[in-house]
A and B are shown apart, each in its own frame.
Chain A
């Protein structure tokens, strides 16, 4: 059973606008969440993380929001750039031992 879900397989956004990628999880014991970016035929690269003691973490154009009561997190990219076009995975872990990944959202930023 998928413990981490990304219900939108794809998203298209105009350059300069905001991209919002969503992720839901079922395990209330998850206490650490990450976002990864992946290009085809390459390994994922780390983007940003958030601990369950926070509800927001920001790094440049990337902001992750965590809503623990809704078991939901989102990644905001502002402003979106064509180079942001990639597949984005969210991941969650309990005590940072084993990481569970979502199915990914393919983001296309249109110039």
Chain B
């Protein structure tokens, strides 16, 4: 079954700690995205990648980092510089160069201890 897998579903971060959220897709999509959802707000783009070994900042990239070493994987690291990390994080993928739609994973809820 093709899809996007995000793990873990729930994650807790201590002060000053970096945490990494996993996103894997087997849809053979070139483009991958990370969004953040806060209560009462829409999905805001953190980072996106159209091709392996290349990625661009979205609207709220500060305090986050990503890598794209493999087509299937696009992990997101929430660094200690992100002062308000509590949110629901969504990974998505699409065909690059004119996607019809984004396919989303089931999300990771990150909370600060």
> For chain B, which range describes its interface: under 10, 10 to 19, 20 to 34, or 35 or more residues?
20 to 34
The 8 Å CB contact of B100, one of A9, A36, A49, A102, is A49
Main secondary structure of the interface of A (DSSP, over half): loop
Docked complex Cα distance between A96 and B31 (Å): 12
Contact between chains at A98 and B104 (CB < 8 Å): no
Contact between chains at A98 and B42 (CB < 8 Å): no
Contact between chains at B58 and A98 (CB < 8 Å): yes
Q: In the complex, which residues of chain B have a beta carbon less than 8 angstroms from the beta carbon of A99?
A: 33, 45, 102
Residues facing A in B72-113 (CB within 8 A) are 88, 90, 92, 98-107, 109
Q: In the complex, which residues of chain A have a beta carbon less than 8 angstroms from the beta carbon of B43?
A: 44, 89, 91, 101
> For chain A, which range describes its interface: under 10, 10 to 19, 20 to 34, or 35 or more residues?
20 to 34
How many residue pairs link A and B with beta carbons under 8 A? The number is: 56
Docked complex Cα distance between A100 and B41 (Å): 12
- Min CB distance B76 to A, Å, is 15
In the complex, whether B34 has a CB less than 8 A from a CB of chain A is: no
In the complex, whether B40 has a CB less than 8 A from a CB of chain A is: yes
Contact between chains at A46 and B101 (CB < 8 Å): yes
In the complex, whether B64 has a CB less than 8 A from a CB of chain A is: no
In the complex, whether A69 has a CB less than 8 A from a CB of chain B is: no
Q: In the complex, which residues of chain B have a beta carbon less than 8 angstroms from the beta carbon of A44?
A: 43, 90, 104
From known contacts A42-B106, A44-B104, A49-B101, infer whether A98 and B45 are also in contact, taking CB-CB under 8 Å: yes
